[in-house]
Structure 1
Amino acid sequence: MNANALPASRAWRAYALEARCELLRMLREPAFCIPVIVFPALFYVLFGVLLNRGNAGAAQYLLASYGVFGVIGAAMFGFGVSIATDRDRGYLRLRRALPTPPGALLLARMAMAALFALLISLLLAVLAAGLAGVRLAPGQWLGLLAVNVAGVLPFAAIGLWVGSTVSGNAAPVVLNVLYLPMAFLSGLWLPLSMLPDWLARLGPAWPAYHLAQLAQKVVGHDDGGPAWLHALVLAVVAGVFFVLARRRLAAAD
């Protein structure tokens, strides 16, 4: 049966099963899951708690920035490495012959990336409130959570494009070359005001900067730009890279 002709109830069940299989796959890869969730928390404890004890402003700033840092890593590496590996193994080509709904694999991996964003956000919130004494209104906690989960989309698109372009062996290297400089130059590790002026001016060129500004706006530490502009930039980045990745994957077939 053509997957496109599946009744709605069966199609939704297929999506749910795909997400369940993806979750099981992730649970069987602790070498990916544990660092993705734990590293942002460790960095926050070191820089937001131990090195800035008593500095509520720094703790709030780093709560927002390290949340974004963790979400970007989960989205880019979760998509980029797995898609590149699946291409190398011929798994994506095989899936085209299977009676699964279109886009089920990508939706399942998007759900996993959103789940990682949720876990990272909750862990950082617990550490911030319990160890750093951060006090935010309920709406601010929910706002940070919403920004982080929604922020998965553009960086999953970037990861998907990288995974559609390079091999499985090259994907981690390429992603790190993008991820680490982008995090530094977007103000995720320290405020851009602490960088040389010529470096700070490069911040708005990175999509991570715009996601970080949305998160910082929630806690009151943003640069003052309009939220709609940051959201628009992220939406454009998501759309462009998804289109580019789709073309690459289609050409590979």
Structure 2
Amino acid sequence: MSQWIVEAQMDMRALLRSPSFYLPAFAFPVVFYFFFGIMLDFSNGHSDYLLISYACFGIMGPPFFHLAVSLASERTQGWLTLKLLSPMQFNSFIAAKLFNSALFSVVILLLLYIEAAWLADVRLWFWQWGLLTLIFTLGTLPFAALGMLIGALAPDRAAAGVVNLIYLPMALLSGLWFPLFLMPDWVQWVAYGLPSYHLVQLGYGVIGQGDEVSWYWHITYLCLFSVGMMLILRGLSGRFSGSNP
């Protein structure tokens, strides 16, 4: 436990020294929700609906970028090899990054909650706020697993670009920026295969606006997706040895 705490502290210190990471992570969902959810009101008065959309969009970023970029950087520069040769357990290394990514996601959620309640007059029950926070905090795991896979495969300088090529289209095709009913039918079929779609549907269900699919199917998909990514990572465990791709 002490090893995990030290690793989490060091990882958080590195994150706080990188405003290029946390400032966009905080600003993008807040600004997007302000323009599309409040000013332009694409949801026709249902600002709580777009709050869920941009909350899902916001929490995807920290695990995606942090796990992918930091793992790719530490792997290609040899720091990960040094850590693996030390008495540190690799589980502590991953757990620290997962915890800090989830913590950043909680901060993003709180910023969106304040914005929604203050500027969009969104009113939810206390249990709804709490359940949304729990769903989206645990919902960082599939994206963290995908981020680790990218970090295991992508070169240091290409990791951020690869994440953007996946992260932004995934958000768009899942209906996080614009409701799916405003998009072509084929987009809705693509959305069914994306983890962000299933996560946001769980959020919609909290406010009574989810799809007709039972919630446990969404949870099952997210669990299977996370396990699948981890199994692939297990097969690629040699990529963490520090060698350049």
Query: Is the pair's TM-score, using the shorter chain for normalization, greater than 0.5?
Result: yes
Task: Return 5+ residue gaps in structure 2 as ranges.
Answer: none
CA distance in 2 between partners of 1:117 and 1:224 (Å):
28
The corresponding residue for 1:221 is 209
The corresponding residue for 1:118 is 106
- C-alpha RMSD of matched pairs (Å): 1.4
Q: 1:251 to 1:25 in 2, by over 3 A?
A: closer
8 Å contact kept, 2:102–2:140: yes
Q: Which amino acid aligns with 1:145?
A: T
Runs of 4+ in 1 over 6 A off after TM superposition: none
8 Å contact kept, 2:43–2:50: no
Cα deviation, residue 132, structure 1: 0.1
The corresponding residue for 1:8 is none
Percent identity for Structure 1 against Structure 2: 37
The corresponding residue for 1:41 is 30
Cα deviation, residue 141, structure 1: 0.5
CA distance in 2 between partners of 1:158 and 1:218 (Å):
26
The corresponding residue for 1:31 is 20
Match of residue 55, structure 2, among 64, 67, 76: 67
Cα deviation, residue 73, structure 1: 1.2
With normalisation by structure 2, the TM-score equals 0.94
Helix, strand or coil: the match of 1:201?
Answer: helix
Helix, strand or coil: the match of 1:136?
Answer: coil
CA distance in 1 between partners of 2:152 and 2:170 (Å):
20
Q: 1:17 to 1:195 in 2, by over 3 A?
A: same
With normalisation by structure 1, the TM-score equals 0.91
The corresponding residue for 2:116 is 128
Cα deviation, residue 211, structure 1: 0.6
Q: Which amino acid aligns with 2:121?
A: G
Cα deviation, residue 142, structure 1: 0.6
Cα deviation, residue 181, structure 1: 1.0
The corresponding residue for 2:131 is 143
Corresponding residue pairs, total: 241
CA distance in 2 between partners of 1:204 and 1:33 (Å):
30
The corresponding residue for 2:199 is 211
CA distance in 1 between partners of 2:135 and 2:183 (Å):
25
8 Å contact kept, 2:42–2:178: no
CA distance in 1 between partners of 2:218 and 2:115 (Å):
27
Cα deviations across residues 83-115 of structure 1 (Å, max 9, x unaligned)?
A: 111111011111111111331110000001110
Match of residue 196, structure 1, among 180, 184, 200: 184
Helix, strand or coil: the match of 2:213?
Answer: coil
Helix, strand or coil: the match of 1:250?
Answer: helix
Q: Which amino acid aligns with 2:49?
A: Y
The corresponding residue for 1:9 is none
Cα deviation, residue 54, structure 1: 9.8
Q: Which amino acid aligns with 1:160?
A: M
8 Å contact kept, 1:53–1:132: no
CA distance in 2 between partners of 1:199 and 1:68 (Å):
18
Helix, strand or coil: the match of 1:187?
Answer: coil
Q: 1:252 to 1:22 in 2, by over 3 A?
A: closer
CA distance in 1 between partners of 2:239 and 2:79 (Å):
15
Task: Return 5+ residue gaps in structure 1 as ranges.
Answer: 1-11
Correspondence 1:177 to 2:165:
yes
CA distance in 2 between partners of 1:102 and 1:197 (Å):
44
